[in-house]
Amino acid sequence: DDQISALSKHASKIRLDDVKDGQERDKDKADRATSEQVLDQRTRMILYQMINRGAVSEVHGAISTGKEANVYGAVAYPDIHGPPVQRAVKVYKTAILSFKDRERYITGEHRFKSGADKGNNRKMVKLWAEKEFRNLRRIHSAGIACPEPIQLKLHVLVMDFLGDRKGWAYPRLRDATIPADDAEQIWMHLYIQLLGIMRRMYQVCKLVHADLSEYNILYNDKQLYIIDVSQSVEHDHPRSLEFLRMDIKNTGDFFRRQGVDTLSDRTVFDFITI
């Protein structure tokens, strides 16, 4: 697992010094990503369209290849005369996505009553990407640190890249390097920060993340970033409180393992919901 994460870290390096203008080169890059055999014809067409419309200008190597989605680094020129900006492109896999797991998030979600056609993979994945896009928009608007959603087309989502200027994606909280001399204080600070985020997500966004853990939080410079919100549900979803309890337990367990003297899960639940 560590080897894999080292590999994907390496792949996440976006070489801004490589960046040049021109459609031919853009197409070249998209082709290269395609040749990794994860992008089908349809996805490729969407990327070409996005390139033509300027949402992205180049698509680079994979930051992460997962069961359900791949995330690629990308570069865009929002202002023709301005500097390039880095973006991340999340491509949901149409073929492999397992809907059994996901059904519990969709059933009871009033935003998706009409669209959920479990027999149609392509439609389901589109719905899933749409859900992530809307949730990100809501979370970002509430001032919670997360990738800003930029564009959505079918199962392809373009968002802000969370990483440094050299193109290295921020590590997941699980892999974060915390300075040892100040570790205790920083972990406490991060714990309190996360409680605030969860409360704000519940009270302001009216959302429960529903897959919150040290794997779906990125870390940089004492700041937490929430990602991977495709399964997040409305707070009036019939199982939202069950998902919230799970989020509280998973994140609480993680911080306890870091030596943080955490509040009880019950206290945290009340803090978030009341």
What string marks each residue from 78 to 97 as x (binds ligand ATP by CB under 6 A) or -? ----------x-x-------
Unique residue bearing structure tokens 């996901």: 102
Q: Select 66 or 115, whichever has its Cβ closest to ligand ATP.
A: 66
125 binds ligand ATP (CB under 6 A): no
Q: How far apart are CA 207 and CA 247, in angstroms?
A: 12
Nearest to 86 by CA among 11, 8, 158, 156: 158
159 binds ligand ATP (CB under 6 A): yes
Answer for the pair 118, 99: CB distance below 8 angstroms, yes or no. yes
Stretch (H or E) spanning 156: strand 156-160
| Catalytic site residue from 26, 160, 228, 270 | 228
Measured from the CB of residue 273, what is the shortest distance to ligand ATP in angstroms?
25
Segment near ligand ATP (CB under 6 A); pick from 49-57, 60-68, 75-83, 179-187: 60-68
Structure tokens that stand for 220 in this block: 């940089």
187 binds ligand ATP (CB under 6 A): no
Residue environment code for 89-121, b if the CB has 16+ CB neighbours within 10 A, otherwise e: bbbbbbeebeeeebebbbeebeebeeebeeeeb
Q: How far apart are CA 24 and CA 30, in angstroms?
A: 10
Applying CB under 6 A, which of residues 69, 75, 156, 208 lies at the interface with ligand ATP? Answer: 69
87 exposed, middle or buried (CB, 10 Å; 0-12, 13-18, 19+)? buried
Nearest to 118 by CA among 109, 129, 106: 106
169 binds ligand ATP (CB under 6 A): yes
| Catalytic site residue from 211, 221, 253, 265 | 211
149 binds ligand ATP (CB under 6 A): no
Question: Is residue 18 flagged as an active site residue?
Answer: no
Q: Select 8 or 193, whichever has its Cβ closest to ligand ATP.
A: 8
158 binds ligand ATP (CB under 6 A): no
What string marks each residue from 13 to 42 as x (binds Mn ion by CB under 5 A) or -? ------------------------------
Q: Considering CB under 6 A, how many residues would be counted as binding ligand ATP?
A: 20
Unique residue bearing structure tokens 């440094």: 164
Write the CA distances from 271 to 163, 168, 187, 211, integer angstroms. 31, 35, 19, 19
Question: Is residue 253 flagged as an active site residue?
Answer: no
Applying CB under 6 A, which of residues 11, 39, 55, 63 lies at the interface with ligand ATP? Answer: 63
Q: How many angstroms from the chain centroid is the CA of residue 169?
A: 12
Measured from the CB of residue 202, what is the shortest distance to ligand ATP in angstroms?
20
Q: How many angstroms from the chain centroid is the CA of residue 11?
A: 17
Q: Residues 201 to 260: which contact ligand ATP by CB under 6 A?
A: 216, 227-228
Query: Contact positions toward ligand ATP, by CB under 6 A?
Result: 63-64, 66-69, 71, 88, 90, 147, 159-163, 169, 172, 216, 227-228
